[in-house]
Chains A and B, each alone.
Chain A
Amino acid sequence: DAKTTQPNSMESNEEEPVHLPCNHSTISGTDYIHWYRQLPSQGPEYVIHGLTSNVNNRMASLAIAEDRKSSTLILHRATLRDAAVYYCILRDPGGSQGNLIFGKGTKLSVKP
């Protein structure tokens, strides 16, 4: 499976936008880009996923580079509740296994 690279940690101020980067230079044509987040003392939570086009949902936006070698998760207005570890994961839905491969993710801190 292709790997992803994320910064270990980032800081944001409350009510400001946050851009969380992810590099995936070895992504294959069939890999989807998934983002999950894990709040303290909870299991991971699905955020968003996409293949080529930018995606928006109620939680966040996903901006995918034209060459697909990088992507950015955008939280439009960070709240204290958004403080979590954010994981960028590549997954081929046609792969033999249905598992998610987590790295260490980016720990996002949100200051009031």
Chain B
Amino acid sequence: ETGVTQSPTHLIKTRGQQVTLRCSSQSGHNTVSWYQQALGQGPQFIFQYYREEENGRGNFPPRFSGLQFPNYSSELNVNALELDDSALYLCASSLGVSSGEQFFGPGTRLTVL
């Protein structure tokens, strides 16, 4: 059974650019959640996708958008990057939206200069 994988592992962008982060969910999981973790803080919920539809969103602006594909993999897109977007971006998969057991990937470290 393959766990949650994320790519790339590290990324450096400049302010104003756009970025796409990718996540492959654990086999059989139909729900993907994205979190942003600033240094020294706990992860903050961005949004969740269930069967290709957005199922909830945290307090993030519209320039944070996402997609889920028929194979349940997912993308996080961030437009017009700001310095404060520098963080670890975590993807978590689960079997259904009600499951409290989410399986996290190792994250993508984004640095915005």
Interface residues of A (CB under 8 A from B): 32, 34, 41-46, 49, 85, 87, 91, 93-94, 96-105
Contact = CB atoms under 8 A, between A and B. Distances in A.
Contacts, number: 70
Contact of B45 (A87, A94, A99): A99
A44 B90 contact: yes
Interface stretch (B13-21, B68-76, B78-86, B101-109): B101-109
B41 A100 contact: no
A65 B43 CA distance: 27
A91 B42 CA distance: 16
B42 A98 contact: no
Interface of B: 4, 31, 33, 35, 40-45, 48, 50, 55-56, 58, 90, 92, 94, 96-107
A59 B71 CA distance: 31
A34 B105 CA distance: 18
Please list the 5 inter-chain residue pairs (A to B) with the smallest Cβ-Cβ separation, ordered nearest first. A102-B42, A43-B104, A97-B56, A98-B97, A99-B45
